[in-house]
Amino acid sequence: MSEQTPEQNLPATGDEAVSRSVFETRKGMWTAGSSDTSGYNGLVRHLSMPGQTEPPFGQPFDAIHSRAIELIPSLADARFLFDRGELTIYVPRDQLLEVAKVFRDDAHLRFEVCVSVNGVHYPEESGSELHSVAHLLSYTHNRRVRLEVTCPEDDPHIPSLAAIYPMVDWHERETWDMFGIVFDGHPSLTRILMPDDWQGHPQRKDYPLGGVDVEYKGAKVPAPDNRRSYF
């Protein structure tokens, strides 16, 4: 019997199996080199990014897929991911505004609201380290879809959706604050959680772990970089 690759060992986690490309295999619960006191020394985790999902997905997602390609033929080359009952469309950043307008205005799609914009940092994904995810909701048809856009760390620019969905104003500010994604065209892209003079973007995975000691009712909790180490 031939030895299975990590990709073959991965279970299907969605409504249908999704192809996945493993970029790293880790052992234990914590980072390599630490003294694992959790009891999970034998844990093996395959870190992977989901690949392409081919239709049919089931309704209403097949209707969204076919209508989107009908109105924007270039999306036929885009990556569609259907996993855990949710549809994500990976949109090239230069097409994001066009796609968002169509998804908002077309009567068959009618995603009137963008309920959230958030960021994700994948430092292992060379050339696409930063992701911005817009969560769209259709009140008319009671359905949801995600538009995901990627950009490299050395060119962290993505068009702002604020002119199309004004409610994302603060969401994009938080994503800039935490991840450093620059939303071009945003009316006032300033920090919203951290002080204006803060250096760096704290939710990036390469951001150094640090902080300040916290005192509460006489007890003192040390900052993360001063806590006990098991190395």
Q: Which residue has the tokens 């604020």?
A: 162
Q: Would you tell me the crossing angle of helices 96-105 and 61-71 to the nearest 10 degrees? A: 120
How deeply is 113 buried, as exposed, middle or buried, from its count of CB atoms within 10 A (0-12, 13-18, 19+)?
A: middle
Q: Please give the span between the terminal C-alpha atoms of the chain, in angstroms, as a whole number.
A: 40
Look up residue 223 and give its two tokens: 């900052």
Question: Contact at 8 Å (CB) between 6 and 24?
Answer: no
pLDDT score of 12: 41
Domains of the chain with CATH codes: 11-50 (no CATH), 52-208 (3.30.460.80)
Q: How does residue 26 score in pLDDT terms, banded at 50, 70 and 90? A: confident
Give the pTM: 0.78
Kindly report, residue by residue over 182-215, the tens digit of the pLDDT: 999 999 999 999 999 989 999 999 887 767 777 8
Q: What is the mean pLDDT of residues 52-66?
A: 93
Query: Is the pLDDT reported for residue 17 higher than 60?
Result: no
Query: Is the pLDDT reported for residue 111 higher than 80?
Result: yes
More confident residue, 138 or 13: 138
Look up residue 219 and give its two tokens: 């007890």
Residues 6 or more apart whose Cβ sits within 8 Å of residue 27: 41, 42, 43, 44, 45
Q: How does residue 160 score in pLDDT terms, banded at 50, 70 and 90? A: very high
